[in-house]
Amino acid sequence: MVAPLDGIKVIDLSRLAPGPFCTMILGDLGAEVLRVEEPGGGAMAASRPRQDPIAIRRAAAFSAVNRNKRSITLNLKHPEARTVLYQLCQDADVFVEGYRPGVVKRLGCDYETLHAINQRLIYCSLSGYGQTGPYQGLAGHDINYISFAGMLGLMGPADGPPAIPLNIVADMAGGGMHAAISILAALLARGKTSEGQYVDAAMLDGVFSMLQSVTSAFLSTGRVPTRGSESLSGSLPHYNVYECADGKYLSVAALEPDFWQTLCTAMGREDFIPHQGDEAQRTEQFSFFRRTFKTRTRDAWFDLLSRAGDSATAKVLSMDEVVTDPQVRARGLVAEVGVVNGETVRHPGIAYKLSATPGSVRSLGVPRGEHTDEVLKEMGYSSERVRVMRDQGVVE
């Protein structure tokens, strides 16, 4: 079956989560992705405990961001390794790197250098703060990018410190996903112009763009939003999270009047119905919901409210509950994708559903450098030459 990105060759020079997530998306959609990795795995690998080969292969297979990719090692500080990379770039479509600005210039694989080799190449630099501005060289991680973007300061209750989310907002959504969207747009543009281009993807930019509703309101009114005071961040009793009798939680999002009516009726408080959003009633409503939800278990409340009609409630699930949830299973969001050492490997499934050209998991992640010899042989290098290159530290 044809995939959307069949025939697209991607060279992935990225390291941490955002870049590999970006190229995972491209690989799931059919692109041929080649990871170019540093011999030894770099500083991050050096800090991890040593593992036996079986454990290494298992970890690689269960790493969803490395599926649908081959892997070679190249020591780009060595001139011959750069020559190999330049050969790979001659017919590549996309190049993704995730270093801080300036590093790829020192490694000889910056946009100008590779564009001179292949003018159709789409070159994506994915960084925290972008290639311009006073923060361009600043080190950081997800929590730092969402801090500068204004998101972290808005997360959590009004009477507490900012709530730190998982590294999903900046790394995955603001970074990797926005980079993938930009690359797909550049591929479409190349179909019209026959020219590649440079993509400057920054996690700060991506996160800030996702705050568009809050930012637009501020730019329109001048009112500075504050933590816990916004309608969708905990200030409303009918858009909140409540603890139940078993210590588990239920989320309530009865924003629409008919949802609110269903909720209030099912809980025996029809008198609340005319007062949705009434600030004078918030304390009483909060007190009632917090007290009453603790009288039944989470699942009992969900069953009761679901039978009552549309109330926009949901169970707050733990991960072990998520992977067995019937809706998650029906959508193929947990998929069996292969076998490693006799063990079935499961990954998060493919989120984007295309009817005619669906994505797929064609191969599992592999240990660093698994395909070095194979790729070099495809490029015309003899086994003896590869042995010499390995002895010289060009490859691992």
Annotated catalytic sites, by residue? 141, 171
How far apart are alpha carbons 395 and 239 in whole angstroms? 55
Residues in the chain: 396
Residue in this structure with the two tokens 């309530």, named with its chain if needed:
252
Exposed (0-12), middle (13-18) or buried (19+): which is 383, by Cβ within 10 Å?
exposed
List Cβ neighbours of 338 (8 Å cut-off, separation of 6 or more): 61, 344, 345, 361, 363, 364
User: Is the CB of residue 28 less than 8 Å from the CB of residue 360?
Assistant: yes
How far apart are alpha carbons 239 and 294 in whole angstroms? 17
The DSSP string of 91-126 is: T-SEEEE-PPTTHHHHHT--HHHHHHH-TT-EEEEE
> Which amino acid type is present at position 271?
D
List Cβ neighbours of 301 (8 Å cut-off, separation of 6 or more): 244, 250, 293, 313
Q: Is the dihedral of CA 163, 166, 168, 170 positive or negative?
A: positive
How far apart are alpha carbons 249 and 276 in whole angstroms? 22
How far apart are alpha carbons 129 and 300 in whole angstroms? 46
